[in-house]
Chains A and B, each alone.
Chain A
Amino acid sequence: MRQGPPPPLQVMLGRLRDNLTELWPLLKLPLTLLAVAHLVLVALFPGARNALLGTTPQDVPDYLTILQVGDALGFSATHGRDGFLVYKIYTQNGDVVSGTFPDDAVAPRLRYDRWAVAGDAAAGPHAELHAFVARYVLERLPSPPVRMELFAAHWRWDRNSLTFPWPGKGPQTALELKLLGNYNGLTRVWEPIADKGRAQ
């Protein structure tokens, strides 16, 4: 039970000042840690998006980078994940570019892994998800394409031929692609492939 009259305003303000003064050392540690963490992460990932301000240094997200045809396609070493998406785009000026979803250059690794499980799920037999991904890719292109093909990619491990590093038996030869659908740039229609063509 409180005894005596309630404290006057001056006393209350004094207590508030004392509390704020005592709060400052408490805040110094997390603020210092935050500043150090920010500097370290900026030094480690200079091209990454600023998580606090949400600014994007580039128009196309780097987990959706368009690569040149024939680049080695990597995927996560995590157990059980061996599917991802490949798209081939026929541009208006006659070029053909291909890319993967996700791009293996995404950093840090934890971020890549999260997109990798999404890519693995999208490479499964989910026709609606294929259409979503196709729309997502199309919305982020600098100009409308004439045509786009979307593939599900899976690693096919031939254990006999991959037991030793013989020439011509590397991982690049073990990739299997299945066409999921086509986007027609003239009619602007996404045409999924029938069930027999989808990834199992």
Chain B
Amino acid sequence: MRPPLAIGRDALSAWLGFWFGGVPPYGLLALMRIGTALILLYVLFVRAFDLEAQFSDVLWSDPAKLRAIDPVAWPFSIFNWVDGTWWLWSIHALAMVVATAFLLGVLAQFAAALSLAFQLSYVHHNPIMLLGVDALLMLALAYLTVAPSGKALGVLGRLAPDKPVYPPYLAYLEERQSRGVWGLTWVGLPVRVMQIHLCLLYFQSALGKLSTDWLAGTALWHPRLVPLGVPYSLETLQAQPHLTSLITYGLLLFELLYGVLIWIPALRYAVLCVAVLVHLAVGFAWGLLPFNLMMIVLNIAFVPARHLEELVRLARPLLTLPWVTTEGRH
């Protein structure tokens, strides 16, 4: 007689296998991990310029007043446990070390969970400095905490199933694929939820844009759009009203229809190409590159897993670090 828990687990695995069968998306998750980690490291590095001004007890960090301004604020923060500049910098340095471990795929899920805790700590310690890119980072980190993103393209690996872990080896850890208690099909679940979440994000963004400015095609005329050192002059664009209207309506339509068109297999790559082009254009034109690159990283979730797995396998000989000697280890 099998225990009820095992029966329930098998039933759930069978149900998930029905939806998420096929190739486990280890390469896909690894690419998302690397993209997320690089952007996270950049955000942390830029935050270091103003760390004391934004988080020490100078101006913005009176927790009671900040919570009064932002009712969403939640009193959890690692920074509330310590006091003093030395601790502030120590925690920030630790956050960067953890983000580096996440990038290299060292204890990837653990590093993702810790990075998420650090990000939440920054946000809750000073909620009025929250940016869109922070929200996207936390979204990606939350999903990568429950998904095995360190099984491919990590620096810790082994050359064969019977060999010890051998650092560093930037390779595809195929021998570690089938060890999960819950089965391979579970890997697809966080990816699928992430895909649905991304569709909702685009749709929510489109709903937010259904205002007078966007429906009239004049959103690019708002006076706050003063160039801030961006390479492209907005005045050149504004001199062509028809073009600005086309861009405005195009962006609106793209965000409205993304959540529908992306699920049609024949249109999958076309929609992804448009998404990449849109985010690169907006990112470069308005200087909002980290946010838009993060959106591109989230879009990786929609690339068919089998294609990315093939890509990672083909790239394996190139990714193996040539200066690593394997002599004498096996």
Q: Tell whether, in the assembled complex, residue A49 and residue B218 are in contact, meaning their CB atoms are under 8 Å apart.
A: no
Known: A41-B45, A126-B69, A136-B59. A155 touches B229 (CB 8 A): no
Q: Tell whether, in the assembled complex, residue A171 and residue B128 are in contact, meaning their CB atoms are under 8 Å apart.
A: no
Q: Tell whether, in the assembled complex, residue A26 and residue B168 are in contact, meaning their CB atoms are under 8 Å apart.
A: yes
C-alpha gap A61/B149 in the complex (Å)? 40
Q: Tell whether, in the assembled complex, residue A82 and residue B224 are in contact, meaning their CB atoms are under 8 Å apart.
A: yes
Q: Which of A6-14, A71-79, A182-190 contacts B (4 or more CB under 8 A)?
A: A71-79
Q: Tell whether, in the assembled complex, residue B238 and residue A165 are in contact, meaning their CB atoms are under 8 Å apart.
A: yes
Q: Tell whether, in the assembled complex, residue B104 and residue A30 are in contact, meaning their CB atoms are under 8 Å apart.
A: yes
Known: A78-B288, A114-B129. A159 touches B212 (CB 8 A): yes
Q: Does B254 contact A (CB under 8 A)?
A: no
Which of the residues B48, B68, B208, B221 comes within 8 Å of A51, measured between beta carbons?
A: B48
- Chain A residues, Cβ within 8 Å of B238: 165
Known: A77-B286, A157-B222. A112 touches B50 (CB 8 A): no
C-alpha gap A126/B71 in the complex (Å)? 13
C-alpha gap A110/B62 in the complex (Å)? 23
Q: Tell whether, in the assembled complex, residue B229 and residue A107 are in contact, meaning their CB atoms are under 8 Å apart.
A: yes
C-alpha gap A145/B239 in the complex (Å)? 44
B154 CB to closest chain A CB, in angstroms?
12
Q: Tell whether, in the assembled complex, residue B50 and residue A114 are in contact, meaning their CB atoms are under 8 Å apart.
A: yes
- For window 197-237 of chain B, which residues contact chain A by CB distance below 8 Å? 208-209, 212-213, 216, 218, 221-230, 235
- Chain B residues, Cβ within 8 Å of A171: 223-226
Q: Which of A90-98, A127-135, A192-200 contacts B (4 or more CB under 8 A)?
A: A127-135
B328 and chain A: residue at smallest CB distance: A18
Which of the residues B208, B230, B324 comes within 8 Å of A79, measured between beta carbons?
A: B208
Residues of chain B at interface, number, CB under 8 A: 60
C-alpha gap A74/B241 in the complex (Å)? 22
Q: Tell whether, in the assembled complex, residue B128 and residue A118 are in contact, meaning their CB atoms are under 8 Å apart.
A: yes
A21 CB to closest chain B CB, in angstroms?
11
Q: Does B58 contact A (CB under 8 A)?
A: yes
Q: Does B21 contact A (CB under 8 A)?
A: no
Q: Does B46 contact A (CB under 8 A)?
A: yes
Q: Tell whether, in the assembled complex, residue A51 and residue B226 are in contact, meaning their CB atoms are under 8 Å apart.
A: no
C-alpha gap A108/B160 in the complex (Å)? 45
Give how many A-B residue pairs fall within 8 Å (CB-CB). Answer: 140
Q: Tell whether, in the assembled complex, residue B129 and residue A155 are in contact, meaning their CB atoms are under 8 Å apart.
A: no
Q: Does A67 contact B (CB under 8 A)?
A: no
- Chain A residues, Cβ within 8 Å of B213: 157, 159
A122 and chain B: residue at smallest CB distance: B128
Q: Does B43 contact A (CB under 8 A)?
A: yes
A130 CB to closest chain B CB, in angstroms?
11
- Chain A residues, Cβ within 8 Å of B264: none
Q: Does B89 contact A (CB under 8 A)?
A: yes
Q: Tell whether, in the assembled complex, residue A25 and residue B168 are in contact, meaning their CB atoms are under 8 Å apart.
A: yes
Q: Does A151 contact B (CB under 8 A)?
A: no
Known: A25-B323, A114-B54. A77 touches B46 (CB 8 A): no
Known: A30-B104, A77-B286, A163-B218. A129 touches B69 (CB 8 A): yes
Q: Does B47 contact A (CB under 8 A)?
A: yes
B239 and chain A: residue at smallest CB distance: A165
- For window 221-277 of chain B, which residues contact chain A by CB distance below 8 Å? 221-230, 235, 238-239, 241
Can you list 23 pairs linking A and B with CB atoms under 8 Å apart?
Answer: A22-B167, A25-B324, A26-B167, A29-B168, A49-B49, A54-B89, A61-B50, A77-B226, A77-B228, A82-B224, A108-B46, A110-B42, A111-B49, A111-B50, A113-B288, A114-B47, A114-B50, A121-B70, A128-B65, A155-B223, A162-B223, A164-B241, A165-B238
7 further contact pairs, Cβ within 8 A, besides A77-B226, A170-B223, A171-B225? A30-B104, A61-B50, A78-B132, A109-B228, A110-B133, A110-B290, A162-B218
**7 nearest interchain CB pairs?**
A171-B223, A51-B48, A74-B226, A174-B223, A121-B128, A109-B287, A82-B224
Question: Chain A: residues with CB nearer than 8 A to chain B?
Answer: 22-23, 25-26, 29-30, 37, 41, 48-49, 51-52, 54, 61, 63, 72-79, 81-82, 104-105, 107-115, 117-118, 121, 124, 126, 128-129, 132-133, 135-136, 155-157, 159, 162-165, 170-171, 174-175
Question: Chain B: residues with CB nearer than 8 A to chain A?
Answer: 42-43, 45-54, 58-60, 62, 65, 68-70, 89, 100, 104, 128-133, 155, 167-168, 208-209, 212-213, 216, 218, 221-230, 235, 238-239, 241, 286-290, 321, 323-324
